[in-house]
Chains A and B, each alone.
Chain A
Amino acid sequence: MSKLSLEELASLDVLQAAYISALDGKAMKAWLDTFDDDPDASYICTARNDVECGLKVAMMLDDCRDRLIDRCTFIEDIWAGTFQDYRTRHFSQRVTAERREDGSVAMSSNFSVIFTPDDTGLPQQLATGTYEDIIRMDGGRCRFLSRTAVTDNSVLPRYLVFPL
Chain B
Amino acid sequence: MTGQEAYQRDIVWPANYNEIPKEIFVRQDLYQAEINRIFRGPEWHPVAHESEVPLPGDFKTCNLADVPLLIIRGEDGKVRAFYNACSHRSNQIEVKPSGNRTEFECPYHRWLFNSAGELVGCPNQREFTPGFDKKDYPLAQPRQESLGGLLFVTLSPETDSLDDFLQEAKTSLMDIMGGDGRLRLIGYHRVRYLTNWKAYSDNDGYHPPLLHQAFTMLNWQGGAGRQYATTGRGHYCIDTELTVPKPTSVIRDTSVIEFRDEGRPKRSSVLALFPMLVASNYLNVISIRFATPVAIDEVEVNYAYFAHQDDDEEMVRHRIRQSSNAIGPSGLISMEDASVFHRVHIGNRTPGKAVFQKGVTDPSRLSFEFRQNDESGNLPHWEYYRAAMGFRRTAA
Does B bind A?
Answer: yes
Q: Are B185 and A156 interface neighbours, CB within 8 A?
A: no
Q: Are B251 and A161 interface neighbours, CB within 8 A?
A: no
> Is A95 an interface position by the 8 A CB rule?
no
Q: Could you tell me which residues of chain B, from 76 to 123, have a CB within 8 Å of some CB in chain A? A: 97-98
In the assembled complex, the Cα of A82 lies from the Cα of B98 at a distance in Å of 35
Task: Point out the residues of chain B lying under 8 angstroms from A84, CB to CB.
Answer: 339, 342-343
In the assembled complex, the Cα of A66 lies from the Cα of B248 at a distance in Å of 14
Q: Are A155 and B192 interface neighbours, CB within 8 A?
A: yes
Q: Could you tell me which residues of chain A, from 12 to 39, have a CB within 8 Å of some CB in chain B? A: none
Interface of B, helix, strand, loop or mixed by DSSP: mixed
Task: Point out the residues of chain A lying under 8 angstroms from B191, CB to CB.
Answer: 155-159
Q: Could you tell me which residues of chain A, from 43 to 83, have a CB within 8 Å of some CB in chain B? A: 47, 49-50, 53, 55-64, 66-67, 69-70, 73-74, 77-80, 82-83
Task: Point out the residues of chain A lying under 8 angstroms from B186, CB to CB.
Answer: 55-57
Task: Point out the residues of chain B lying under 8 angstroms from A74, CB to CB.
Answer: 332, 335
Q: Could you tell me which residues of chain B, from 269 to 322, have a CB within 8 Å of some CB in chain A? A: 300, 305, 320-321
> Is B252 an interface position by the 8 A CB rule?
yes
A49/B97 contact (C-beta < 8 A), A57-B188, A156-B191, A156-B192 known: yes
| Interchain pairs with CB closer than 8 A, number | 109
Interface hub of B251, B323, B328 (most chain A Cβ within 10 A): B251
Q: Are B335 and A161 interface neighbours, CB within 8 A?
A: yes
Q: Provide the B200-235 mask, 1 if CB < 8 A to any CB of A, else 0.
A: 000000000001011001000000000000000000
In the assembled complex, the Cα of A69 lies from the Cα of B253 at a distance in Å of 9
Q: Provide the A118-136 mask, 1 if CB < 8 A to any CB of B, else 0.
A: 0100000000000000000
Q: Are A160 and B330 interface neighbours, CB within 8 A?
A: yes
Q: Are A83 and B336 interface neighbours, CB within 8 A?
A: yes
Task: Point out the residues of chain B lying under 8 angstroms from A47, CB to CB.
Answer: 188, 190
Interface size class of B (residues with CB under 8 A): 35 or more
Task: Point out the residues of chain B lying under 8 angstroms from A55, CB to CB.
Answer: 185-188
Q: Are A61 and B325 interface neighbours, CB within 8 A?
A: yes
Closest A residue by C-beta to B336: A82
Task: Point out the residues of chain A lying under 8 angstroms from B192, CB to CB.
Answer: 155-158
Q: Could you tell me which residues of chain B, from 346 to 375, have a CB within 8 Å of some CB in chain A? A: 346
Task: Point out the residues of chain B lying under 8 angstroms from A56, CB to CB.
Answer: 186-187, 320
Q: Which residues of B contact A (CB under 8 A)?
A: 97-98, 185-194, 211, 213-214, 217, 250-253, 256, 300, 305, 320-321, 323-325, 328-330, 332, 335-336, 338-339, 342-343, 346
- Given A57-B189, A158-B192, 15 more contacts at CB 8 Å? A53-B98, A59-B189, A61-B324, A64-B253, A67-B256, A67-B325, A70-B253, A70-B332, A74-B332, A78-B250, A84-B343, A119-B346, A154-B190, A156-B329, A158-B338
Q: Which residues of A contact B (CB under 8 A)?
A: 47, 49-50, 53, 55-64, 66-67, 69-70, 73-74, 77-80, 82-84, 119, 154-161
29 contacts between A and B (CB under 8 A): A49-B97, A49-B98, A53-B98, A55-B185, A55-B188, A56-B186, A56-B320, A57-B187, A57-B188, A57-B305, A57-B320, A57-B324, A59-B324, A59-B330, A60-B324, A63-B321, A64-B253, A69-B252, A77-B250, A79-B335, A82-B335, A83-B338, A155-B190, A155-B191, A156-B329, A158-B191, A158-B193, A159-B330, A159-B335
**What 8 A-B pairs are tightest by C-beta distance, nearest first?**
A57-B187, A61-B324, A159-B338, A66-B252, A55-B187, A159-B329, A82-B336, A66-B253
